[in-house]
């Protein structure tokens, strides 16, 4: 199948519906969704982790999300709100919140109790402890949750082309409707590349943002906490 020919055809690299335009759309949807999801999930997860109230809800929502069929949720929301950006965006945010929430909650919750005690011993108040100690220590798991969410959103935004959203998914859906298989395969390669690159960029960001003390600590536990995503830990706990 001549999908390489489709991918490298100069006609597909400029103008309306070109690969750069679809790529920017796809990244735009993902960025907008993640912005909203982070604004909702990080404060909520931090509060629940800090106070310890309602933790079972967080773990439940992250586990329950796996069972929820994304295509069904997308179609249901589009049927309620009509075609356009709003329905898919609500669906994407809905799917993006639980992993970030679970990551933030688990991160704040798992901060070494002796570290929190030491902070209190130094005279830090609740707010200082949360922002100065708990959140920086929770950062590896928070970013881990964001990584899971970003992958979920890139994947679901692709499927959302079925309900009329733009982005790279258009090539797969439009290609299917006219039986243009090279276009479909070319589109699927672009989506896969975007997901892999996004994950690598976030992994790099994780290295950059997380305090070096948390990355190079001698104990295996810390190192593993950095590598483990909250979805994995949720799986172990389930």
Residues of the shown chain interacting with other proteins in the complex, contacts defined by CB under 8 A = 1, 3, 66-73, 75-76, 78-79, 151, 154-155, 158-159, 162-163, 169, 172-173, 176, 181, 184-185, 187-189, 191-192, 195-196, 199, 235-236, 238
Nearer to other proteins, 107 or 187 (CB): 187
Q: Nearest distance from residue 158's CB to other proteins, in Å?
A: 5
Q: Quick one: DSSP state of residue 82?
A: -
Distance between alpha carbon 172 and the CA centroid of its chain, in Å? 22
Q: Nearest distance from residue 84's CB to other proteins, in Å?
A: 15
Q: Nearest distance from residue 220's CB to other proteins, in Å?
A: 11
Nearer to other proteins, 91 or 108 (CB): 91
Report the interhelical angle of 181-209 vs 135-159 (nearest 10°): 170
Q: Nearest distance from residue 118's CB to other proteins, in Å?
A: 31
In 3D space, the residue among 70, 41, 64, 100 whose CA is nearest the CA of residue 238 turns out to be 64
Q: Nearest distance from residue 199's CB to other proteins, in Å?
A: 5
Q: Nearest distance from residue 230's CB to other proteins, in Å?
A: 13
Q: Give the total residue count for the chain.
A: 238
Nearer to other proteins, 104 or 152 (CB): 152
C-alpha span between 76 and 104 (Å, rounded)? 29
Q: Is 44 exposed, middle or buried (0-12, 13-18, 19+ CB in 10 A)?
A: middle
C-alpha span between 158 and 189 (Å, rounded)? 12
Nearer to other proteins, 39 or 238 (CB): 238
Cβ–Cβ under 8 Å, residues 96 and 34: yes
C-alpha span between 51 and 235 (Å, rounded)? 23
Nearer to other proteins, 47 or 162 (CB): 162
C-alpha span between 55 and 59 (Å, rounded)? 7
Nearer to other proteins, 57 or 122 (CB): 57
Residues 6+ apart with CB under 8 A from 197: none
């Amino acid at each position: 199948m001549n999908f390489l020919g489709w991918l490298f055809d100069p006609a597909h690299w400029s103008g309306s519906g070109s690969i750069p335009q679809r790529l920017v759309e796809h990244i735009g949807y993902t960025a907008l969704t993640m912005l909203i999801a982070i604004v909702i999930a990080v404060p909520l997860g931090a509060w629940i982790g800090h106070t310890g109230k309602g933790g079972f809800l967080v773990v439940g929502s992250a586990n329950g999300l796996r069972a929820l069929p994304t295509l069904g949720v997308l179609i249901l929301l589009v049927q309620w709100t009509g075609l356009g950006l709003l329905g898919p965006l609500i669906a994407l945010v809905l799917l993006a919140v639980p992993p970030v929430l679970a990551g933030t909650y688990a991160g704040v919750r798992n901060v070494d109790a002796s570290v929190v005690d030491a902070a209190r011993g130094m005279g830090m108040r609740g707010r200082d402890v949360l922002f100065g100690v708990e959140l920086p220590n929770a950062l590896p798991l928070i970013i881990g949750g964001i990584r899971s969410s970003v992958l979920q959103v890139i994947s679901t935004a692709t499927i959302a082309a079925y309900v009329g959203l733009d982005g790279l998914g258009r090539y797969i859906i439009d290609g299917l409707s006219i039986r243009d298989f090279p276009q479909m395969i070319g589109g699927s390669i672009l989506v896969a590349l975007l997901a892999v690159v996004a994950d690598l960029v976030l992994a790099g960001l994780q290295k950059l943002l997380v305090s070096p003390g948390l990355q190079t600590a001698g104990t295996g536990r810390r190192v593993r906490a950095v590598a483990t995503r909250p979805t994995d830990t949720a799986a172990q706990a389930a």
